[in-house]
Structure 1
Amino acid sequence: MDVRKTTDLLSTTYTDALAIRKTVFVEEQNVDESLEIDDLEDQTLHLVGYVQNKPACTARLLKKDNGDIKIQRVAVLKDYRGTGLGLKLIHEIERLAVKELNGSRLILDSQDHAIAFYEKADFTVEGEGFLDAGIPHHFMKKKIDRT
């Protein structure tokens, strides 16, 4: 998998990220498009994983003032689910968080059905569940290993 990153909202990489997010969140999960694309788009680092030059997965990262790196909008196209691609993307995010973003901790709001996926990457659930876009979620965190 080739991972490309951008902050340029006019780039092909960003356009590919939006296309994946629209397919997964808007079309498959029926999330309102007005909730999917928000006011943080220009404040985040957008990642897209490509397989044989085809966009397959995406995520975006928001660096918080306290050093946390918030992982958002993680999506893998249906044809690539169950292949380990999502976990590879999470590992790339962790590498970027250490090497380029100087983060101290990874955090995210996981859809409940994806908790086991994030636990495979050593994230832990913290606190009570909540609804986001009508979908049950839990906050998860992982201390970044800086070695």
Structure 2
Amino acid sequence: MKIITARTQQQQDDAYFVRKTVFVEEQGVPAELEIDQHDKTAVHIVAYDNERPVGAGRFRIVDGYGKVERVCVLSSHRKDGVGKQLMLKMQEVAKEQGVPKLKLNAQTHAEGFYKHLGYETVSDEFLDAGMPHVTMIKEL
């Protein structure tokens, strides 16, 4: 497994492929909500199994936080530790950029995954793209 920061258009397209597969095709998120204006300025992280993209996420700095977004893994690789590796790479990027905290909005079914990685829930449940989410933070 290789986890990289996307530096080429092809690598960014690989991230979009994973996101569209998971969020649009699998979860039914409207495509116009999945790819947004923040994609142009975000740092994109891609996980590869050999040369095949299998995981993705993006990182932005918002209000002094490192904002972790769009984290997803293809169903074929969900029990392989890819999500954890993506999150560790996001932490690396945050530290490189001098960010003291990470923040994310987790789908409620993934809340336990993020808690296991040291995130704390700081909000009540809310809907995003029609799905229940909670906001979580982690001090670095």
Kindly state the Cα deviation for residue 93 of structure 1 after the two structures are TM-superposed: 1.2
Match of 1:83 in 2: 80
| 3-state secondary structure, aligned to 2:125 | strand
Distance in 2 between residues matched to 1:27 and 1:65, nearest whole Å = 31
Three-state SS of the structure 1 residue aligned to 2:67 is strand
Unaligned segments of structure 2, at least 5 residues: none
CA-CA distance at 1:59 after TM superposition: 0.3
1:51 deviates by 1.4
2:137 equivalent to 1:141:
yes
CA RMSD of aligned residues (A): 1.1
Match of 2:47 in 1: 49
Percentage of pairs with the same residue: 36
CA distance in 2, matches of 1:123, 1:5: 22
Of 87, 91, 94, the match for 1:94:
91
Q: CA deviation at 1:7?
A: 6.0
Q: Structure 1's 138 and 7: CA in aligned 2 closer, same or farther, altered over 3 A?
A: farther
**Paired residues, what number?**
140
Partner of 1:119: 115
Number of the residue aligned with 2:6: 6
Change (3 A) 1:46 1:13: same
Tell me, in whole angstroms, the C-alpha distance in 1 between the residues paired with 2:109 and 2:42.
25
TM-score, scaled relative to structure 2: 0.95
- Three-state SS of the structure 2 residue aligned to 1:128 is coil
One-letter code of the match for 1:5?
Answer: T
Q: Which runs of 4+ in 1 moved over 2 A?
A: none
**Alpha-carbon deviations, 1:22-49, whole Å to 9, x = none?**
0000000000001101111112000101
C-alpha separation in 1, matches of 2:129 and 2:58:
18
TM-score scaled by structure 1? 0.91
Q: CA deviation at 1:143?
A: 0.2
Tell me how far 1:6 sits from its aligned partner.
2.8
Alignment partner for residue 74 of structure 1, among 55, 71, 75? 71
